[in-house]
Amino acid sequence: QKPRLDSEHTAVGMQVTARKGRGARSFRQAAVLVVAMTKLLQRPMRKDFADSDLSMLLEEVFEPVTFQQLGNSYAGVPAFRYTRSQSFDIFDINQKCFVLESPTQLVALHLQGPSSSQKVRLNIALYRPRGPRDSTGARQMPVALGIKGYKLYMSCVMSGAEPVLQLEEADVTRDIDSVELTRFIFYRLDSPAEGTTRFESAAFPGWFICTSLQPRQPVGITNQPDQVNIATYKLSGR
């Protein structure tokens, strides 16, 4: 027979026993139990005691628990999978070449005749493409830009309030799995219709490798491409 609460019998006997030891209930737990029983006795009883009655009883007895929600975002470690390397001559759209003026300084200038041998050739490490083409239709290819014949690679790092371009000795012809090495990665943004390309920093999106409008100035990086500088290039594989 289904148990029920009889409204004609509301007297309930209750005995609270305090005991010592590991299994003893705390005073707070005992107080909660007493309050619960008091609420139960004061509530008009129906013939059947349903789950909803227990739910309402618990809502009246137990205090609301306050909590603080902390929102944290965690960026996954980028993984750039190395595939191969290729060598190219590079010219900005004003036909300036790259020249290694010192062990750590690239400049862009016009060369012709015998002096053309001073230009550097880029050793471009290619990595597996990530994601679709961008909104302009340009294909994004992760690359590392090295100086052929040297173990020097361009990197983009923060200096003061803005990022700067520098040359570092490194070996990046392998998978890049650490955030720290992302400074060597640039997205090669090709525009097939024009036959040109740009190089955007992976560590600092919106910053592009650039040359000055004036000759013999350092190769740098800018967030205002092709405005007071040149950030568009042509590559030649000859």
Q: With bands split at pLDDT 50, 70 and 90, how would you rate the model's confidence at 16?
A: low
Residues 121 and 230 in one domain: yes
37 has which bridge partners?
Answer: none
Residues 46 and 161 in one domain: no
Domain that holds residue 35: 15-65
Query: Contact, 81 vs 175, CB < 8 A?
Result: yes
Secondary structure (DSSP) of 1-44? ------TT------------STTPPPHHHHHHHHHHHHHHHHSP
Average the pLDDT over 189-194 and give the result.
Answer: 93
Q: In one letter, which amino acid is 217?
A: Q
88 has which bridge partners?
Answer: 122
Residues 151 and 38 in one domain: no
Residues 210 and 178 in one domain: yes
Please indicate whether residue 155 or residue 140 has the higher confidence score (pLDDT).
155
pLDDT for res 5: 45
Q: Is residue 1 in a domain?
A: no
Residues 149 and 45 in one domain: no
Give the CATH number of the domain where residue 146 resides. Answer: 2.80.10.50
Average the pLDDT over 69-89 and give the result.
Answer: 73
Distance CA(32)–CA(3), nearest Å, equals 25
Residues 26 and 121 in one domain: no
Residues 220 and 168 in one domain: yes
Please indicate whether residue 189 or residue 23 has the higher confidence score (pLDDT).
189
- In the predicted structure, residue 62 carries a pLDDT above the cut 70: no
Q: What are 95-105's pLDDT values in tens digits?
A: 999 999 988 89
pLDDT for res 233: 98
As for how many domains the chain has, the answer is 2
| pTM of the complete model | 0.65
Residues 118 and 189 in one domain: yes
CB within 8 Å of 203: residues ≥ 6 apart? 156, 157, 163, 182, 183, 185
pLDDT for res 224: 94
Q: Is residue 77 in a domain?
A: no
Distance CA(125)–CA(152), nearest Å, equals 12
Q: With bands split at pLDDT 50, 70 and 90, how would you rate the model's confidence at 51?
A: low
Residues 109 and 153 in one domain: yes
Q: What are 111-147's pLDDT values in tens digits?
A: 988 888 899 999 999 999 665 555 555 557 999 999 9
Q: Is residue 19 in a domain?
A: yes
Query: Contact, 163 vs 154, CB < 8 A?
Result: no
- In the predicted structure, residue 65 carries a pLDDT above the cut 80: no
Residues 42 and 93 in one domain: no
pLDDT for res 21: 53
Percentages of the chain per state (helix, strand, coil), in multiples of 5 = 15, 35, 50
- Burial grade of 40 (CB within 10 A; 0-12, 13-18, 19 or more): middle
- In the predicted structure, residue 179 carries a pLDDT above the cut 70: yes
Average the pLDDT over 204-226 and give the result.
Answer: 96
Q: In one letter, which amino acid is 5?
A: L
pLDDT for res 104: 86
Q: Is residue 88 in a domain?
A: yes
Q: Is residue 70 in a domain?
A: no
Q: With bands split at pLDDT 50, 70 and 90, how would you rate the model's confidence at 73?
A: very low
Average the pLDDT over 156-160 and give the result.
Answer: 96
